[in-house]
Amino acid sequence: MARILALDYGRKRVGVAVSDPTGLIAGGLTTVPTASLMEFLNDYFQREEVERMVIGLPKQVNGQPSESMRYIQPFVGAARKKWPELPIEFYDERFTSVLAHRTMIDAGLGKKARQNKALVDEISATIILRDYLESKKIQI
Length of the chain: 140
Distance between CA atoms of 49 and 124, rounded to whole angstroms?
Answer: 22
Amino acid at 10: G
3-class SS at 58?
coil
- Amino acid 88: pLDDT: 97
Residue range 37-52, pLDDT digits in tens: 999 999 999 999 999 9
- Amino acid 20: pLDDT: 95
Give the mean model confidence (pLDDT) for residues 98-114: 69
Domains annotated on the chain, with CATH:
3-139 (3.30.420.140)
The answer to whether the beta carbons of residues 125 and 56 sit under 8 Å apart is yes
Q: Please, which pLDDT band fits residue 140 given cuts at 50, 70 and 90?
A: very low
Question: What whole-number percentage of the chain has pLDDT above 90?
Answer: 56
- Amino acid 121: pLDDT: 86
Beta bridge partners of 8: 15
Please give the model's pTM, rounded to 2 decimal places: 0.85
Distance between CA atoms of 109 and 52, rounded to whole angstroms?
Answer: 32
